[in-house]
């Protein structure tokens, strides 16, 4: 069975969901039959790699004119000096220019980026780069200045939900509306993530519900997390800590857990709460003692409740 992310990857630019203005720019580039160096920046699962592949396929007469690399695997200067430079210098029959797609370019070392800048300068007439990154600030400024930057934002929940409904129908997947809503919530604007979650569920012959998804993906129920936050905001510290300790004892990954709290606060539309949880998320992601960080976060949330008139 094909993976859903591969089976339903768009083949035409008009089929890419979300980011309408950016997708329209990609379409204009295709129509022009030429392109500058491009830098696609934005969160995962928003169509960056898909648009890059469509661009290359539409503009190149053959696959020989395309080099695809993942910079997280080949991030050092030797890759630039050998693989990238060698391809840029190669002559390809019937190709007015070649294309190099470099995914996760923000993981490249500084030395590799400096070397690549030189390749981009020297071979710009016969080779175009499409650099793809999640974090634009990690791309060397001189490289940014040589590219047209196209920004991709998280995909709207309504668009992801509609696409999941279509795919579930096509695949004969029996899934409840509440389960689809949960997948959308957990995906946080990432279409690829939503398909990966759906993929993990399709072995079930029964109708997929919220409980099944929570069990499959190994995350606490959003309702449990919301109840902890509600208790804290009502200054019911003892009950909130008891509930949290039960969740903690189930051995969830601390980063997954803090992200669950963040999503719950987002759903509650409590922006002070989001700020407190965001700071805790930063400390936990830096490897600081996770359980203590949660307790510190709870102390700050209790303070929020106490300050209310």
Does the pLDDT at position 309 exceed 60?
no
Gap between the Cα atoms of 109 and 71, Å rounded: 9
Q: What DSSP character marks residue 70?
A: E
Choosing from 122, 151, 180, the residue where a domain stops is 151
Split into its structural domains, the chain has a count of: 3
Q: Are residues 173 and 243 in the same domain?
A: no
Does the pLDDT at position 21 exceed 80?
yes
Q: Are residues 15 and 147 in the same domain?
A: yes
50-72 average pLDDT score: 93
Cβ-Cβ contacts under 8 Å for 118 (sequence gap 6 or more): none
Residue 74 maps to which CATH number? 3.40.50.300
Per-residue confidence (pLDDT) for residue 71, from 0 to 100: 78
Per-residue confidence (pLDDT) for residue 44, from 0 to 100: 95
Lowest-confidence region among 7-16, 209-218, 294-303: 209-218
Q: Are residues 163 and 232 in the same domain?
A: no
Helices (H), the chain: 4-7, 20-32, 48-59, 77-79, 85-89, 110-122, 141-144, 157-171, 177-187, 191-201, 210-217, 222-233, 237-248, 254-268, 271-285, 290-307
Does the pLDDT at position 68 exceed 90?
yes
Q: Are residues 145 and 169 in the same domain?
A: no
Q: Are residues 199 and 284 in the same domain?
A: no
Is the pLDDT higher at 216 or at 196? Answer: 196
Per-residue confidence (pLDDT) for residue 151, from 0 to 100: 98
pLDDT tens-digit series, residues 91-142: 888 888 999 999 999 998 888 899 999 999 999 889 999 999 999 999 999 9
pLDDT tens-digit series, residues 208-248: 888 888 888 888 888 899 999 999 999 999 999 999 999 99
The average confidence (pLDDT) of the chain is 90
Gap between the Cα atoms of 160 and 280, Å rounded: 29
Q: Maximum CA pair distance of the chain? A: 75
Which of 72-76, 93-97, 99-103, 287-291 holds the top average pLDDT? 99-103
Cβ-Cβ contacts under 8 Å for 239 (sequence gap 6 or more): 231
Q: Are residues 230 and 261 in the same domain?
A: yes
Does the pLDDT at position 308 exceed 60?
no
Q: Are residues 236 and 295 in the same domain?
A: yes
Q: Are residues 134 and 177 in the same domain?
A: no
Q: Among residues 144, 121, 114, 118, which one has the least CA distance to residue 131?
A: 144
Percent of the chain past pLDDT 70, that is, above it, reads 96
Cα separation values, 41 from 154, 198, 208, Å: 11, 26, 34
Residue 279 maps to which CATH number? 1.20.272.10
123-155 burial, b at 16+ Cβ within 10 Å, e below that, comes to: beeebbbbbbbbeeeebbeebbebbeebebebb
Q: Are residues 141 and 54 in the same domain?
A: yes
- 129 is in which domain, residue-wise? 4-151
Per-residue confidence (pLDDT) for residue 82, from 0 to 100: 82
Residue 168 maps to which CATH number? 1.10.8.60
Question: Which residue is associated with the tokens 């929020």?
Answer: 304
Cβ 161 vs Cβ 177: under 8 Å: no
pLDDT tens-digit series, residues 245-264: 999 999 888 998 999 999 88
For residue 33, what pLDDT band results from cuts at 50, 70 and 90?
very high
∠ CA 276-259-6, nearest 5°, is 150
Does the pLDDT at position 307 exceed 80?
no
Does the pLDDT at position 20 exceed 90?
yes
Per-residue confidence (pLDDT) for residue 257, from 0 to 100: 92
Gap between the Cα atoms of 201 and 213, Å rounded: 7
Q: Residue 181, Cβ neighbours under 10 Å: how many? A: 14
For residue 8, what pLDDT band results from cuts at 50, 70 and 90?
very high
Q: Are residues 34 and 95 in the same domain?
A: yes
Does the pLDDT at position 72 exceed 80?
no
Does the pLDDT at position 204 exceed 70?
no
For residue 206, what pLDDT band results from cuts at 50, 70 and 90?
confident
Choosing from 105, 127, 151, the residue where a domain stops is 151
Is the pLDDT higher at 303 or at 163? Answer: 163
∠ CA 52-36-68, nearest 5°, is 35
Q: Are residues 147 and 31 in the same domain?
A: yes
Choosing from 151, 168, 184, the residue where a domain stops is 151
Does the pLDDT at position 200 exceed 60?
yes
Q: Are residues 135 and 8 in the same domain?
A: yes
Gap between the Cα atoms of 245 and 232, Å rounded: 14
């Amino acid at each position: 069975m094909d993976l859903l992310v591969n089976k339903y990857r768009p083949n035409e630019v008009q089929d890419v969901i979300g980011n309408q203005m950016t997708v329209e720019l990609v379409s204009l580039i295709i129509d022009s039959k030429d392109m500058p160096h491009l830098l696609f920046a934005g969160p995962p699962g928003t169509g960056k790699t898909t648009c890059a592949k469509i661009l290359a396929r539409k503009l190149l007469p053959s696959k020989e004119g395309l080099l695809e690399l993942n910079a997280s695997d080949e991030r050092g200067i030797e890759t630039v000096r050998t693989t990238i430079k060698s391809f840029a210098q190669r002559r390809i029959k019937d190709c007015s220019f070649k294309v190099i797609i470099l995914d996760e370019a923000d993981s490249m070392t500084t030395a590799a980026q400096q070397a690549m800048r030189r390749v981009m300068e020297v071979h710009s007439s016969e080779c175009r780069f499409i650099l793809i990154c999640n974090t634009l600030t990690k791309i060397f400024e001189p490289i940014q200045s040589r590219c047209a930057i196209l920004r991709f934002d998280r995909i709207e929940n309504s668009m992801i939900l509609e696409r999941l409904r279509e795919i579930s129908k096509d695949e004969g997947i029996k899934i409840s509306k509440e389960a689809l809503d949960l997948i959308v919530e957990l995906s946080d604007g990432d279409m690829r993530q939503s398909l990966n979650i759906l993929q993990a569920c399709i072995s079930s012959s029964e109708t997929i519900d919220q409980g099944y998804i929570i069990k499959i993906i190994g995350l606490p129920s959003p309702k449990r997390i919301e109840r902890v936050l509600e208790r804290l905001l009502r200054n019911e510290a003892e009950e909130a800590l008891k509930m949290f300790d039960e969740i903690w004892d189930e051995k969830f990954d601390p980063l997954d857990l803090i992200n669950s709290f963040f999503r719950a606060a987002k759903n509650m539309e409590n922006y002070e709460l989001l700020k407190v949880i965001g700071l805790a998320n930063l400390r936990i992601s830096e490897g600081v003692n996770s359980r203590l960080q949660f307790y510190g976060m709870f102390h700050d949330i209790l303070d929020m409740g106490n300050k209310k008139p």
